[in-house]
Amino acid sequence: MHSNIKLFVEADYDAMSQKAAEIFAAAVQAKPGGVFGFATGGTPVGMYRVLTQMYQSGKLDFSGLTAFNLDEYHPLKRDDAQSYYTFMQEQLFGQVNIDAAKTHIPNGEAQNPAHECEAYDKMIEDAGGIDFQILGIGANGHIGFNEPGESFSARTAYVPLTEITVQSNARFFASADEVPRHAITMGIRGIMMSRRILMLCSGEGKAAILRDALCGPITPLVPASVLQLHRDVTIVADKSAAALL
């Protein structure tokens, strides 16, 4: 594995969540007014729970943060139970003292997605870029919603979801038919422009793709493999996800 990647292997999901929360909290304490990139999915839920507890016990202050989420389904109403807007409200933003006016998520209701993408990049730029980006990894190696084959040079983009992603995210919806077929996602180039990246990875189902991403060839066919080119990446994995490294 490349030496620019720091890897922490923790015993289980809870230990992974705790470790990731500690790394995140240290970054906030180092730069309380920083710009933080947030991710959704099942994997970071435990970390968000620990961060909420840190806030409740007075150990962490979110009031100075600016937040940009990676992605949002399109089309999907902001208040839909499965929107990433709702997810962030429930898992973190609605639980801590973050300033709602400084939280940003791509608009899944945008009439003109191309315009929304440009506006999103402009907001990130105006905020000074992302200091610290949290990532998960999809079953097919996607980061954000950058599916295999998406160009490494894209910034925020309106993208189709692959069938694998629709099927693996169907668990959150009533059925696969309900899963939107598109998303607005920060692109690979945008993600790579973050100054620091923290990726969480849990479960044996992610072991092969994590190995491919960290130890295999750097290729758009495994979007997360681009992280091998970033200068400051930390991976926190549980034992099952790290089993093939």
Catalytic residues, by residue number, are 71, 140, 142, 147
DSSP 162: P
Stretch 226-245 residues interacting with ligand GLP (CB under 6 A):
none
Residue from 40, 66, 156, 225 binding ligand GLP (CB under 6 A): 40
Residue from 34, 37, 108, 136 binding ligand GLP (CB under 6 A): 136
Q: Which stretch binds ligand GLP (CB under 6 A): 18-26, 37-45, 104-112, 150-158?
A: 37-45
Residue from 124, 134, 137, 157 binding ligand GLP (CB under 6 A): 137
Would strands 182-185 and 71-74 be described as parallel, antiparallel, or unpaired?
A: antiparallel
Backbone angles phi, psi at 66, to 5 degrees: -110, 135
Q: Which stretch binds ligand GLP (CB under 6 A): 14-22, 61-69, 86-94, 137-145?
A: 137-145
What's the CA gap between 203 and 182, in Å, rounded? 26
How far from chain centre, in Å, is Cα 19? 16
Stretch 41-100 residues interacting with ligand GLP (CB under 6 A):
41-43, 70-71
Torsion of CA 38, 40, 44, 49, to 10 degrees: 80
Q: How many residues bind ligand GLP (CB under 6 A)?
A: 14
- How many angstroms separate the Cα of 214 from the Cα of each of 79, 138, 217, 229, 235? 36, 14, 8, 10, 10
Residues forming contacts to ligand GLP in the complex (CB under 6 A) are 39-43, 70-71, 136-138, 144-145, 165, 169
